[in-house]
Structure 1
Amino acid sequence: MAFLNEFAKASVQSCEIDKELYLKYNVKRGLRNADFSGVLVGLTNIGDVVGYNKDDKGNIIPAHGELYYRGVELKDLCRGFQEDKRHGFEEAAYLLLSGKLPDKSQLRTFSNQLARERELPDFFSKNMILSLRGRCVMNMLARSVLGLYTADDEAENYSPENLLKQSMSLIAKFPVIVAYAYFGMRHSYQQKSLIIRHPQPELSAAENFLYMLKGKKYTKLEADLLDLSLVLHAEHGGGNNSSFTTRVVSSAQTDTYSAIAAALGSLKGGLHGGANLKVINMMDNIKQNVKNWEDEKEVAAYLEKILNKKAYDGTGKIYGIGHAIYTLSDPRAILLKEKAEELAIEKNRLKEFNLYAMIERLAPEVFYNFKGSGSKTVCANVDFYSGFVYQCLEIPEEIYTPIFAVARIAGWCAHRIEEVTCSSRRIIRPAYKAVYPRLKYTYMKDR
């Protein structure tokens, strides 16, 4: 143990870099510009995230957020299937993969194909998910994706037709794998019953997921909320960490399963896919320490304490507030909030929802007063409400991030197809400048 401690100390010391060197060499840390905008590294036809405008001098002008799937604004897409009183995830997946909105016949054919692809290969559930125990559902999902490679005789076939076939298979199977992995984990480590429900071909992706988790004990509104959440998380441009990971790995001309497993590793990270759980934990703390949830002054004062690192976890962060791109508003948060209020009423949690809404309203002003006039404009992001929605749906916390993956697999596959078939076909290879001093080799006898 002493050796490992000393070894780790030496390793950390060898990695230390003077922060002034980042300024000296104009390094775009995190691939971000000095004004926090992203460094342009590629072009895409898939998703577009609009969170601000720029004036003639290049200064950022805050704006209300917009999100486009293949040129179709997310708000319009959601209004469309909501007005038709149907679910929209399958339509969103079709749009992302094909670049076109499906007609009734095309959507029916696509949905039927997904239904046929949901069943896992023979013995896969037992051997890959239930026998190989795991505490983390995300890791079990990634392992299962790599396992699907062995069941695909055309795993290394990069034709557009085969890439689409693989994509539809993964989109269909993700909810099933997540549900089975959760119950396998629960059975192995929490001594609870092992429950395996087979997906039903007549149900949508959202309905199937709730059915596999809860049986038939879900309402129409619950299914509608989960479907909306899947649509909102299906795509977010090529620059988000997991989609960019998909493109980086795909640019090396590896197989679909390896690329998607890498994306899952990225999404698992607490800075990417785990934000809604951090919001839930923060809100639990606020509810315990704020006596009157309807008192704006008391709520604002506690938020200021959080920013001052005098409350909650000491990080100075109000989780769910702020985004890398969005400034005045996140369209996903707006759409989810609308339906979340209906769900809160159904679940008798309206008082709690109103506290969320108050914090969403107060936090940007508290943040501005704390940071000063030069601070970045912030708003509530989609994670601020998604955890509350999952709580209302009685979805276990262990699968909050896996649900993100169930949705984002559609976007990942679209980006992989674009990278493999239509990009510059160059391996993505940014530069790192070495700043460690040159050393002469010292012979063992002289050390």
Structure 2
Amino acid sequence: MIRLISLPMFMTFSISTVLYFFILILHFKKDIVTRKSLKIFLFLLTANTIYLLAFGLFLNSENNLEFLNIINRILIISSIFIFIFFFHFLTIFFSLRLKRIVVVFYGFGLLFSILACINTSLFLEKEFLKTSIYYTGLQFGIFFKLWAVFAISILLSSGIALFLGYRKNIKNNKSKPIFFYFLVLSTITWIIAGVTDSLTAIQIVDFPPLSWLGSLLLIANVLILIFETIDNLNFKINNLYDQLIHDHLTGCYSKSYFEIELNRIIHGLERVNTINCLVFFDIDNFKIINDTHGHLCGDYILKEIIRITTHILRPEDILARYGGDEFMILLTNIDSHEEVKHVVERIRKNIDQHHFIYHHKNINCTCSFGAVHFDDSIIELHVNNEHLFALSDTALYNSKKNGRNQIDVVKL
């Protein structure tokens, strides 16, 4: 058998294929990778499986020369398509515009596959080498050496594709430069030491440990790519989570997060009986401010009110933007009902006395507040989030009805 892939090379292809499949699944779950790249990778897995099965049959073929003849040719065809599919996958994975090169590789791959099926002295004969230091297998001719050069060119192109892909990611701040240089080192070592002296009679480096080193470096590079991929995905997940729980304009919590925390507090009252308060407030005549001074001024007012309110609240209290100019506060573990009114009155007074300066203009701004106390009695009354929101909204309506810039407190 012509030693198409040495042991370290074969291990590298097998392990790298599995690892790249893991990377692909990670990306595909996030809808980053197209179905086309997944299809090409499945072709790569199929070719790799065929090669593995043929290699296993070869090891157990003993001295059946007819069988060895067929297996040798299957190994040649499957190995060349492993290389082509791998290169094609990299061009899609890194979004490289190398379509013409891919087509040329497929064309030559098909041509050499046809030649591999024919007994000819120009490519492969149905006769076996008598003696060889490095190779044992079929006699090969000039076209087989061209096939070997073609195989090397595909592998070199794969290295270039990885090179271009990493450089593209570095420009987009998706990869770190150290990985890029490590990739170049591992790929060059792998190709020189592990490929050229295994595929052809062209002996460039006859140092087996270097072949193992190149293979291990390339596998390590793929592992780094996996960790980098996971790190990037975690970063995106954390960003999405942050966007989910925070309001993008003011930086305070979002309505959805507030509702989750309120529900948690209500269920926790079964274990710990504490006094809590839900405060609902909005800006008086906010539409007039927007119409008079513009929406950018309105955004400034919203941010300032959040800053003033946050400065007064405790770390365990929760402030959220309910929508538009409406805000909600969840005061937990209050000592008394009087403390609630004191805290809310302090917020109202600070907003009323604050000088809102926008483009050298002093803008008057006040807020109306509606609050509702609750403790473990709401469990017996079967009061939920919606009931508390409705009660606080009614209290807010009463404060506006009574002249705005006021506080109305409701007790359950």
Pair in the same fold by TM > 0.5: no
Please report the TM-score for the alignment, with normalisation by the length of structure 1: 0.19
Larger Rg: 2
- Which has the larger helix fraction? 2
Greater RCO, CA 8 A, separation 6+? 1
Alignment TM-score, normalising by the size of structure 2: 0.20
